[in-house]
Amino acid sequence: LLPVLKALWPLATTENVECRRMSGAMTNLVFRCDYKGHPNGMGTMPACFAAGSAPKYIDSVIVRIEGLPSYDRAMELKCFKTAAQVGIGARLLVKFANGRVEECFKKHRAMGPGDMTEPVASSEIAATLANFHTLMAEAMLPQVRPDGRQQDNQDEEVCGWGIWDRMQHWAGSVQQRGSTESPEMCTGLTDKVKQLQTRLEASFPLWTTYGHNDLQCGNILVPCGEWWWQQQQQEQQHSLQQATTAASVSLSRQAARKAHGVKLIDYDYCCWSNAGFDIANHWCEWAATYHPDNSFALDYVRNFPSPAQQRHFIAAYLNQLLRLHGMSVAPHPSPAKPLPPSVSAAAPGARAPATAPNGCPDHAAGSGNDDSPGMSDPNAPEKVAASAQAATVLGGFQRWVLRVLENRRGAAASNSEGNSCDAAYDLQASSLSPGQVEIVVDELCAATQAWAAASHFHWGLWGLAQCNTSSIEFDYVLYAKQRLQQYEDLVGRLIGR
C-alpha cells in the first residue's frame, strides 16, 4: 500500500503509517490507514472540496483494492463520485489501477447488528435511505442517455445496469460455469429471474429509484459516542410536530446533503432498483451476523424485523420521502379532492407501465412533461425522451401514492365499505391525512415483504458467482444455499408458485 499512499503522504514510511484490514468486506479488500508522521508529510483535501475554507489535512484514509468484478466498476465509481458531489458520500482522494484511496469518516463507526434494531437508529437509517434514493436518483438521471445507457465525459458508453440486468448476468454466468460443490443449484436460473421479475412487478409494483442495495450493518456508519443517540431521539420527536412548507422542503434537502449523522458507504452494488428491494434487503441484513474471521450466521426466524418494526421503519422512510417531495401529513383528515381526469377515468391497473432507466418499469408513471423542448431544436427528440424519462423516475413516488389511494378507494366502493373519501388524493395536494398515510404504509409494507424474495435470490446468485472466483475466505456456497432456500420459501408463501 505504501506506493499508493505516497501520492497523498509524501513522507510515508512503514514506521509512520499504520494500516489495518477492515473486516466484513466480502468483495474487495478494504484497509484503514493512519499517518503518524510529521504534519509536513500530510496531504490535504483536494481543492475542489476545500474551496472557501482552510486546507483540510488528512491523516486517515480508506484504501479499497478491487476484487474480481462481480459488479459494474465504472458505474460504481460514477456512483461514488456522485454521492460525494451531492454531499452524502466520502470523497475520492487518489485513484489507482485496481482501486482507490478515499476519505475516512474517522468520527464515525460502523453499526453492529444490534444497533440496527434500536428504534432511534432504525428511524435514522430509514430517513437516510430516503435521502439517498431521492438525491441519487436526481443526480444520476442526467448521466443516462435516452437509450438507457450511460455516457461519461470521454464518450465511452458504460451500461448502467438495473437490478434485474445484474441478476440475469450473474444467473447466465453461473449456469455457464456451473459449480463443482453444488451443481444442482446452477440450472434454470435465468428463467427463475424472469419469472420472479414478472410476478413481483405484476403483483407488487413500486416506483423506480437509485438503490444502495447492500445496506448491511458494516455499510452504515453512525457518529461515535452516546450524544448522537440522545440528540436524534429529541429531533425525531420535534420533527413529527412540524408542518411541511416550501421552506421546510428546502431545509430538508439541505439537511439531507449535510449527512452529519448516519452515512451509507460502499456503493459496489448500487444501481437502478426500487424502494421495496432496497428496504427488504436491509431487513434481511437484520438476520445476518458477520464475524471478523468472515464466518457468518443467518437467523431469519428470530432476527428478521417484526411487523411492528417493519411499520416503524416504513413510516420513518415515508415521512422523510414526503418531506423531500413537498408533501406532509395533515393534522386532520383532508376533504376529498377530485382525481385528475386521466386517472379517474382509468380502471386500476389499466395503464401500461412506462419504462425507466435500463428497462426498470415504473408502474406508476405518468404521461410526460409540459415543459418539453420545441421540435425546432435538432436535438428535440432525444431531449423529449430524456425529459420524459426524468419525469417518469422523479415523479414515480407521487404517482405510486396516487395509484395506491385510487385502488383502495375503488376497492372500498365495490365492497360497499361506506365512506372511502379519505383515500382520495391528487398530485397537487400538499398533504396526506393520517388515514391516507396508514394506507400507504400498509401497501409499502406488504410490497417490501414480497420483494425480500428478490433480495434473497440476488444474493444467492452472488454467492454462486463468487464461489469459484473470489480469493476472499468466505463460505459463498453455504451462504448461497441459505439465501436461495429463503427465496423458495418466500415465493411459495407470499407470491405464489
What would the 3-class secondary structure string for 415-476 be? CCCCCCHHHCCCCCCCEECHHHHHHHHHHHHHHHHHHHHHHHHHHHHHHHHHCCCCCCCCCH
User: Parallel, antiparallel, or unpaired: how do β-strands 263-264 and 220-223 relate?
Assistant: antiparallel
Task: State residue 247's pLDDT score.
Answer: 44
Task: State residue 422's pLDDT score.
Answer: 60
Q: Which of 219, 293, 297 is nearest to 473 (CA)?
A: 293
User: Parallel, antiparallel, or unpaired: how do β-strands 271-274 and 328-329 relate?
Assistant: unpaired
Is the torsion defined by CA of 341, 205, 213, 360 positive or negative? negative
Range picked from 365-379, 410-424, 447-461 for highest mean pLDDT = 447-461
CA 434 to chain centre: 26
Task: State residue 346's pLDDT score.
Answer: 29
Contact residues for 299 (Cβ-Cβ < 8 A; gap 6+):
287, 289
Instruction: With cut-offs at 50, 70 and 90, classify the pLDDT of residue 409.
Output: confident
- Among 7-11, 24-28, 217-221, 383-387, name the one with the lowest average pLDDT: 383-387
Range picked from 58-72, 128-142, 218-232, 406-420 for highest mean pLDDT = 128-142
pLDDT above 70 (res 484): yes
Of residues 331 and 221, more confidently modeled: 221
- Identify the helix (H) or strand (E) that includes residue 196: helix 189-203
Task: State residue 330's pLDDT score.
Answer: 60
Residues linked to residue 31 through DSSP beta bridges, in sequence order: 21, 63
Residues 41 and 34: their CA atoms lie apart, in Å, by 12
Averaged pLDDT, 248-275: 72
Residues linked to residue 264 through DSSP beta bridges, in sequence order: 220
Averaged pLDDT, 9-33: 84
Contact residues for 75 (Cβ-Cβ < 8 A; gap 6+):
150, 158, 159, 160, 161, 270, 271
Range picked from 9-18, 305-314, 429-438 for highest mean pLDDT = 305-314
pLDDT above 90 (res 461): yes
Residues 181 and 464: their CA atoms lie apart, in Å, by 10
Of residues 313 and 393, more confidently modeled: 313
CA angle 451, 445, 216 (to 5 degrees): 60
pLDDT above 90 (res 419): no
Instruction: With cut-offs at 50, 70 and 90, classify the pLDDT of residue 368.
Output: very low
pLDDT above 70 (res 302): yes
Residues 409 and 420: their CA atoms lie apart, in Å, by 6
CB 403 within 8 A of CB 447: no
Average pLDDT, the chain: 76
Instruction: With cut-offs at 50, 70 and 90, classify the pLDDT of residue 204.
Output: very high
Instruction: Please give the model's pTM, rounded to 2 decimal places.
Output: 0.78
- Among 102-106, 350-354, 419-423, name the one with the lowest average pLDDT: 350-354
Of residues 61 and 69, more confidently modeled: 61
Task: State residue 307's pLDDT score.
Answer: 96
Averaged pLDDT, 4-26: 85
Residues 251 and 98: their CA atoms lie apart, in Å, by 39
Residue 190 corresponds to which amino acid?
A: T
Task: State residue 440's pLDDT score.
Answer: 94
pLDDT, tens digit (0-9, with 9 covering 90-100), for 157-199 = 333 579 999 999 999 999 998 766 677 888 899 999 999 999 9
Task: State residue 227's pLDDT score.
Answer: 59
- What percentage of residues in the chain have a pLDDT greater than 70? 65
Task: State residue 122's pLDDT score.
Answer: 93
Which three cell numbers mark 434? 393520517
pLDDT above 50 (res 225): yes
- Among 6-20, 307-321, 363-377, 428-442, name the one with the lowest average pLDDT: 363-377
- Identify the helix (H) or strand (E) that includes residue 68: none
Give the position of cell 395503464: 351
- Among 352-356, 406-410, 455-459, name the one with the lowest average pLDDT: 352-356
